[in-house]
Structure 1
């Protein structure tokens, strides 16, 4: 039996979603009004629903509401106005948590029994795919293997290095971050994703997990005066889209 909603319902949802996306702007100035914990919790839950490669969810979020820590983060963010928000969420990607994630998928599987194919994937295929070995030596061997196998058939060619693992983790984490921004927007709170910050000094303020990759510091709050600096500018669609 299909559980798909009637198309008319999707049409209504599409209008709401378009309005939500169009209303989101990078807000640079915030009021001092605090964001309720219940709202933060719900938005984080929605961020966790983002898709991720092999469902390994290589992300974590540090929620900063403490006034002293927020004050310390302002110079870390190079004095940006957005860094004066009443809430900052540090978004981290993790390229080194895949092994524990594989175990967690099997441990938390939402059915009484884990399907054999799922168990085989997370015990065999995924470890082969993501384990790059000490200093990446396994990745080097896999690159040679993939090059040879690729002559005969299509193969998955990445990630086969420590740097590719970083990219793998950041791509999935960026999806979760977008969910998080839209979730706050749906509650009437604005956001500003800040990539301009001092990673070294960030580690002096927050207990950054070993090997974590800081993706962004997300400022959250109610928009203040002159919150949006400039009118929206996007390149023409036909300049960025190819139809085949």
Structure 2
């Protein structure tokens, strides 16, 4: 259930820190299944991730059937995480759903009155902003216009091509993936995001549309005692965080 937008719950920052700090990429899992209600809650929390224009350019393919999971693990290069996890979730970025989702954004508007600016955005602005046109012609024209207009004032720079649309969709989808992994940890389960896979085989195996981008395959379950291989470490923040 969605809370009132103006009602903020009290947050225990120590509990959140425990979730974030105890999340690790687990390479071996117990065979214990993830309860359906836990999985459903984690997937719902994943879809609450921030995303561009609320166009939600993601899909989740949840694989639990033993035979299909074994074949998917093989497509994930036989990694231990893929072979031992009771659940594998292919997280897919979609660059081709924005038109339908723009319509859905209007249909699902949660208030009785639709603000004119919202109606204008999804009906008029989004169809221009995200449309690259045949052979990318419209995208090239928008890029040229942006270069000229950008000489005088700040303008949105892209996405101007199918490749930039891939980046656009993947950024939002990665945020959803992080929500999913943190939700699993909060429920006492673990995960491993895997980039090592044969995308062609994964897409064919799961029936993922041609323009879907498999951002990652997440293994999920209860961590085994030998599931974490090494001690966690990070680089010096002075090299990575810049206060201006």
> Secondary structure of the equivalent of 1:132?
coil
Q: Aligned partners of 1:113 and 1:146: how far apart in 2?
A: 33
Q: Aligned partners of 1:125 and 1:66: how far apart in 2?
A: 42
Q: Aligned partners of 2:37 and 2:18: how far apart in 1?
A: 24
**Structure-1 residue corresponding to 2:26:** 27
> Displacement, 1:114?
1.2
> Displacement, 1:203?
2.2
**Structure-2 residue corresponding to 1:168:** 168
Q: Structure 2 stretches of 5 or more lacking a match? A: none
**Structure-2 residue corresponding to 1:240:** 240
Q: Structure 1 stretches of 5 or more lacking a match? A: none
**Structure-2 residue corresponding to 1:47:** 46
> Displacement, 1:205?
1.4
| TM-score where L is the length of structure 2 | 0.95
> Displacement, 1:226?
1.0
**Structure-1 residue corresponding to 2:68:** 69
Q: Aligned partners of 2:235 and 2:184: how far apart in 1?
A: 26
Q: Aligned partners of 1:97 and 1:3: how far apart in 2?
A: 31
Q: Aligned partners of 1:225 and 1:17: how far apart in 2?
A: 23
User: Can you list the C-alpha shifts for 1:81-133, whole angstroms capped at 9, x where unaligned?
Assistant: 00021100100001111111110000111012211110001111111110011
Q: Aligned partners of 1:3 and 1:59: how far apart in 2?
A: 27
Alpha-carbon RMSD = 1.3
Sort the Cα spacing of 1:222 and 1:119 in 2 relative to 1 into closer, same or farther, 3 A.
Answer: same
> Secondary structure of the equivalent of 1:101?
helix
> Displacement, 1:4?
5.6
State how many pairs are aligned: 239
**Structure-2 residue corresponding to 1:121:** 121
| TM-score where L is the length of structure 1 | 0.95
Sort the Cα spacing of 1:201 and 1:3 in 2 relative to 1 into closer, same or farther, 3 A.
Answer: closer
